[in-house]
Chain A
Amino acid sequence: MKKQWIRIISFIMMICMISMVSIGCGRSNQDSGKKVTINILNYKRETVDILQKMIDKFEKENPNIHIQMDSPSDAMTILKTRLVKENPPDIAILGGERSYADFVDADTIVDISDYKGLDKVKDVYKDMAKQLELSKKKGTYCVPYAANAAGVLYNRDMFKKYGWKIPETWDEFISLCKQIKSDGETPFYFMLKDSWTGITPWNALAANLTSTTIYDEVNQGKDSFSNHYGEPAKKLKELLKYGQKDPFAYSYNDGTTAFSKGDSAMLLTGNFAIPQIRSTNSDINLGAFTLPVLNDASKTKLVSGIDVMFSVMKADHKKECLKFIDFMLQDENVATYMKQSSSVSCIKGKFPVPVDLKEMEKYFNNNRVVDFPDHHYPADLPAGDMIQGYLMNNDMQTFLNKFDTEWKKSNRNLIRKLQK
């Protein structure tokens, strides 16, 4: 009998040891002192250095708050995994895209409608954030901070050298491309090996040629994408003629490197690519203009979305989180951030549009902006792949049909709910 007991006790002890080891692993990243630790998950890796400097400053001013920031690659997947583990970060720095809408829809973000700092945010961007939500919920779930803009990046030095002019209409744009080609230079460098890069010009085309209500109407079964996406698809195909040879062979990294070295006069991308381009050639003199999709210059809109926003994901340290957001919203810090990251402020106040985006200034000031269509596309909709396939095979009908089928498939739960 005794032996049996010993065996049972040793077995229980073994189980205890195993569980202690595993609990120990889980505990190791909690703080030991009284200091409050705020964990931030940042999806935008390009801004790590800028943010870290600001965090250091914040920690100096608030010695009892410690901020730990993670900026992993593929941050969205990591955030989702952490939500599964029910261990979300205190603050998530997100982009205004469909994943954010999913987070709101799944009740994973803390409502901050009572936060005073929200008054500082421009209404356009607050509306834009609301527009993203799948079923418009009561409450506010983010503080929009910085906006991005997509269009055409161009090499100022090359434009000066050959005397090329910034185009205002589609026809002017096409004749500019022809001009560049006849001057012996390459107009664009396509980076279509990474299929998502095809979405950037697509966004500008689709946003200007379709209405923003299309997504809801398709979900309600009143309309289809095939009715509207033919025109942008045709124009995108036309632009492909002015790319380098083998446009599908080169990736985002290859393309930005080539542009930074002056291999092409323009690049169809957004201001988010500027830090990447500067990292290979810090001396490049570049500018950006709006892709002139229409022939009526006064109607063309700039594609701009929320690039950086703060969302509080955990209510435990809400006060400290809001304190940090307050700090980020101080005029001086906004100015530093916008200047260093070449982005446009979502915060009210006189913050100059970065020099690189000077040609886009009038669009921002007159509110002639429209959100990226792909911010409304579900993350599993292979929009980039479909565009890539269309450009490769030149088969518009397949593309349009596929877009409708894939859309219905990705949104099938939402559609079932709406059409019930």
Chain B
Amino acid sequence: MKKVKLGKTYKLFVLPILICFFAFNTFPLINAVVYSLTDSRGFGDFNWVGFQNYFDMFKDSRILNSYLFTFKFAITATIIVNVISICLAVLLNSKIKGKSFFRGLYFLPNILGGLVVGYVFNFFFTFILPSFGKLIGNEFLSTSLLSNESTAWFAIIICTAWQAIAFNTIIYISGLQTIPGDVYEAAAIDGAGPWQKFWHISFPLIAPFFTINMVLCMKNFLMAFDQIVAMTGGGPNSSTESISYLIYKTGLSGSQFGYQCANSVIYFIVIVLISVFQMKFLNKREVQL
């Protein structure tokens, strides 16, 4: 009997959160699914169009391009961020002077807002880098990277990575700290070098953190928005339109609400599939001590 009572109390505690979650997450989601079957502009009257939006979507080159860009962006950024984060974490976890200071310093970008960082980098790429390029006489650097279709996406990656590395590094550092010292001692007695220690001890043992970082990174970068608003606005020539930016721009400002709801439903499914796949695949690699 007692157990049941306790359960009810727990349920009551959970209830407010559940209501909030339903009201602000599940309900809008269902709403979007419903709207995706209409030609709604987001306001005023609308007609039911069935699955027409979904059919049109697959023929739409602009949406296709935004998917290509977003995946190119997310995969490249995830790789860059994780490689640099692991290196930084290993360095910041070793015995160096002013360790806390450096850890604080490298965490700083995470505190700043995405838009602020975006505008700063925008200025950097438009004015500072080109004048530096002219100074050293480099043709490639003397025009703005953001003004070129083939380089703009990479400029955005630089900005995004600069900011995202901070948080990932912290996760990796905490991961490295969970590894007990005696494992390294044992390895040292066996004559392992620093590279072997990293590859055979540190890396497998921080695998759970690696999984978290990969999933978080991929999900965050797939939803890239702030940096794009601040740096390119989707340009030049729509080459840096991420999916979420496209949904926002044409769905809200462009009065294509129903159509972009269909896009966001597909997008939601894609992100869920990727996250599940990543979890399943990467979990297999994790090692327990």
Contacts and interface: CB of A to CB of B under 8 A. Distances in A.
Interface of A: 7, 11, 14, 18, 74, 76-77, 80-81, 83-84, 99, 102-103, 105-108, 192-195, 245-246, 248-251, 254, 378-382, 385-386, 388-389, 392-393, 405-406, 409-410, 412-413
Contact of B43 (A14, A84, A381, A386): A84
27 contacts: A18-B16, A77-B253, A80-B41, A80-B253, A102-B255, A106-B45, A108-B44, A193-B232, A195-B236, A246-B143, A249-B126, A249-B143, A249-B144, A251-B126, A379-B253, A379-B254, A380-B250, A380-B256, A381-B254, A385-B234, A386-B237, A392-B149, A392-B237, A393-B149, A406-B62, A409-B62, A412-B56
A270 to B, nearest CB: 20
B148 A380 contact: no
A258 B76 CA distance: 36
Interface of B: 8, 12, 16, 19, 39, 41-45, 49, 56, 60-62, 126, 130, 143-144, 146-149, 232-238, 249-250, 252-256
Contact of A195 (B12, B233, B250, B254): B233
A393 B252 CA distance: 29
Contacts of A248: 144, 147-148, 236
Contact of A246 (B39, B41, B144, B234): B144
Contacts of B12: 7, 11
Interface of B is mostly: loop
Nearest to B44: A106
A74 B147 CA distance: 24
A80 B42 contact: yes
Contacts of B149: 389, 392-393
Contacts of B236: 192-193, 195, 248, 385, 388-389, 392
B237 to A, nearest CB: 3
A388 B126 contact: no
B123 to A, nearest CB: 10
Contact of A380 (B143, B232, B255): B255
Nearest to A412: B56
Interface of A is mostly: helix
Contacts of B249: 380
A306 B25 CA distance: 41
A76 to B, nearest CB: 6
Given A99-B255, A249-B146, A410-B256, A106 B43 contact: yes
Contacts of A77: 252-253
A117 B232 CA distance: 44
Nearest to B46: A106
A249 B130 contact: yes
Contacts of A388: 235-237
A107 to B, nearest CB: 6
Contacts of A386: 237-238
Contact of B126 (A250, A379, A392): A250
A382 to B, nearest CB: 6
A410 B255 CA distance: 10
A393 B238 CA distance: 13
Nearest to B253: A77
B254 A378 contact: yes
Given A248-B236, A389-B236, A107 B44 contact: yes
Given A77-B253, A107-B44, A389 B238 contact: yes
